[in-house]
Structure 1
């Protein structure tokens, strides 16, 4: 089969399109023919060997796909060849294999797709949709002013919508261009702020946000912390925030005397096969009904994975980037 293989670390050009061995499902596993594979920033960092986990070489990146069941291993019941499904490999602690024509997934992690939901939209709702849904459980927004950084991205665009539906009093979207801010406002954000402005937190006004869902990292994290309201909570998630983070004494004093908190967030430890299937089913059905807008920022042929990585690194995209074999 065709796949994108990572044989050495480096810039996007190290992603090689070619032939690899076909995967074979073992007991309790399902072979999925890939129709759409998701690209995440963690893939970019793995390619650069900057992620928390160094991938073994050679590797096929990609931890989420949607497609059709092409084969069943022994002891798999209740699934049928040809069924349209989501295959969130990451939920099974599998970080590799998605940038390919076929992938093997444990049967417990297969989720059928509703009619009317495209493979591309289903892929966008796996890592990003689940992250947004569980972030709101960790820090419920009802009646609160919330700040969403990276609000035009895959997680941010869903987070804005779900926070609106969950009863947030005011949603502030932070992004890097006016086009992205206008996009976030179209999804339900009340206010947009450009965090490339050195004084961007001044536009937040008042006492500051009660909750910050933060994924951009670097100076944006620290700027947001300085603007957090008393009793406020910053929830830190995403691949970028593991690159650099340091609290000094003044920051700690602020946290202590303003009774603030910083909360870490990792999706996979919160998931079990039953909760994964239940939560994805809710997200899939909401999108199929039109109650949740999924934004696809670009669809690239599998052979052009390097171009997709360049677009994601350049921060020029909105929504989810997808590869199609």
Structure 2
């Protein structure tokens, strides 16, 4: 089978398409023919060795796939052959392997797809959908003004919709450029602000009568976090979910104390439970299948175009979810 791997750290050019043995499902496992593999920004950080953990090399990235069950291992119901499923590999101890034509996983780990939900949509709702869902649960937005960074991206585009569904009084979208802001507004944002504008946090205060945002969901990190803090209201909550990209200084954190603001860390994996995972995905899949949740597609690339897919994410050219189509 074909797979994409990197054997050294570096730019997108280190991604290479290689031939690997097609895995065979063991007892209790199924072999899934991958129809869509999700591409995530954190995988570009892994490729550059800039993430919170250093991966072993060579590595086949990819932690979320959707496809069809091709064969089953011993002890697995044979009628599952041909079933359309999603595989949240990141949640079952499989931190790699999705950029490939096939994956073999435990039968209990696959999640059925409802009619009307595409493989591309399913892939978009695994890491990014669950992230958006749990961000809203961790910091409920009902009756509050919320700010969403990277609001036209995979997580942001879902998060602003879920925040709206959860009763946010006002949703402020932050993104780069008119096109992305138009996307965010089309998905329910009340206000769009271009983060490339100097002093954009002042626009948040102006739009909120000088108060600022009650909740800021920051999944970007880096220099953006300082501006997010500037946009935060007194007594507000900065929810930070950008592992490896935290740049606030001790003085800035101390300033939060004087404004009675709180910083809440967010990491998805510790929030997931075996019993809750399937229910969470079923909820997201149903919302998307019925049109209640719009899943933006940010680009479809072949496996041998994985480097271009990474470039699209790193240069912020994409809106929505980027996927590989084996």
Q: Give the TM-score of the pair, scaled to structure 1.
A: 0.96
- Could you say which residue in structure 1 is the equivalent of 2:227? 223
- Could you say which residue in structure 2 is the equivalent of 1:56? 56
Structure 2 counterparts to residues 8-19 of structure 1, below 5 A: 8-19=8-19
Q: Give the drift of 1:95.
A: 1.6
Distance 2:246 2:146 in 1: 23
Distance 1:318 1:252 in 2: 32
Q: For 1:153-195, what per-residue CA distance to the aligned partner results, in whole angstroms no more than 9, with x for missing partners?
A: 0000001111111110000000111111111000000011111
Distance 1:190 1:58 in 2: 45
- Could you say which residue in structure 2 is the equivalent of 1:165? 165
> Secondary structure in 2 aligned to 1:315?
coil
1:139 aligns with 2:139: yes
Q: Give the drift of 1:79.
A: 6.5
Distance 1:95 1:135 in 2: 21
CA contact under 8 A between 1:109 and 1:276: conserved in structure 2? no
> Secondary structure in 1 aligned to 2:74?
coil
Cα 1:253–1:48, aligned 2, differ >3 Å: closer, same or farther? closer
Q: 2:217 aligns with which of 213, 224, 228?
A: 213
Distance 1:78 1:3 in 2: 27
Distance 1:257 1:246 in 2: 16
Distance 1:17 1:89 in 2: 21
1:255 aligns with 2:256: yes
Q: Give the drift of 1:6.
A: 1.3
Distance 1:128 1:224 in 2: 21
Q: For 1:132-170, what per-residue CA distance to the aligned partner results, in whole angstroms no more than 9, with x for missing partners?
A: 000000000000000001100000000111111111000
**Which 10-residue stretch deviates more, 76-85 or 114-123?**
76-85
Q: Give the drift of 1:238.
A: 3.0
Aligned residues: 322
Distance 2:185 2:234 in 1: 26
> Secondary structure in 2 aligned to 1:230?
strand
Distance 2:229 2:76 in 1: 48
Long gaps (5+) in structure 1: none
Q: Give the drift of 1:268.
A: 1.1
Distance 1:123 1:195 in 2: 28
Q: Give the drift of 1:81.
A: 1.0
- Could you say which residue in structure 2 is the equivalent of 1:306? 307
Q: For 1:95-139, what per-residue CA distance to the aligned partner results, in whole angstroms no more than 9, with x for missing partners?
A: 211000001222232100001110000001111111000000000
1:179 aligns with 2:179: yes
Q: Give the drift of 1:78.
A: 8.7
Distance 1:314 1:293 in 2: 24
- Could you say which residue in structure 2 is the equivalent of 1:235? 239
> Secondary structure in 2 aligned to 1:201?
helix
Aligned Cα RMSD in Å? Answer: 1.4
Q: Give the drift of 1:4.
A: 0.7
Cα 1:236–1:96, aligned 2, differ >3 Å: closer, same or farther? same
Q: Give the drift of 1:17.
A: 0.8
Distance 2:312 2:325 in 1: 16
Q: Give the drift of 1:25.
A: 2.0
1:283 aligns with 2:284: yes
CA contact under 8 A between 1:3 and 1:302: conserved in structure 2? yes
Long gaps (5+) in structure 2: none
Cα 1:230–1:29, aligned 2, differ >3 Å: closer, same or farther? same
CA contact under 8 A between 1:109 and 1:273: conserved in structure 2? no
